Structure 1
Amino acid sequence: MPQAPSDCPVALVVENDEAARDLAAALIEETDLDVIACSSAEDALAVLERDDVTVAMVVADTRLSGKMDGATLARTVEDRWPQVRLVVTSEGTPRADLPPHAVYMSKPWLPLDLLRQAERATLTARAA
Structure 2
Amino acid sequence: MGQSKPLRATALIVEDDPMQREMMCLLLEESDYDVIQCESAEAAELILDRKGGSLWLMMTDVNLAGQMDGVELAHIAKERVPDLEVIVTSGKPLPQALPEGAKFWSKPWVPLDVIREAERTSVAHSTDDDA
Verify same fold: TM over 0.5.
Answer: yes
Q: Does 1:120 align with 2:120?
A: yes
Deviations 1:81-127 (A, max 9, x none): 11100111000234441112111111111001111111122223332
When the two chains are superposed, the root-mean-square deviation of aligned CA atoms in Å is 1.8
Structure-2 change in CA distance of 1:125 and 1:8 (3 Å): same
TM-score, normalised with respect to structure 1: 0.86
Helix, strand or coil for the counterpart of 1:50?
Answer: helix
- Equivalent residue runs for 1:1-128 within 5 Å: 8-51=8-51, 54-126=54-126, 127-128=128-129
Q: Residue type matched to 2:21 in 1?
A: R
Percent identity, please.
39
Structure-2 change in CA distance of 1:107 and 1:81 (3 Å): same
Q: Is the 8 A contact 2:52 2:81 kept in 1?
A: no
TM-score, normalised with respect to structure 2: 0.84
Helix, strand or coil for the counterpart of 1:29?
Answer: helix
Q: Give the number of equivalent residue pairs.
A: 122
| Higher mean displacement: 115-124 or 35-44 | 115-124
Compare CA radii of gyration and give the structure with the larger one.
Answer: 2
Deviations 1:4-38 (A, max 9, x none): xxx52211000000000000000011113211111
Which structure shows the bigger proportion of residues in helix conformation? 2
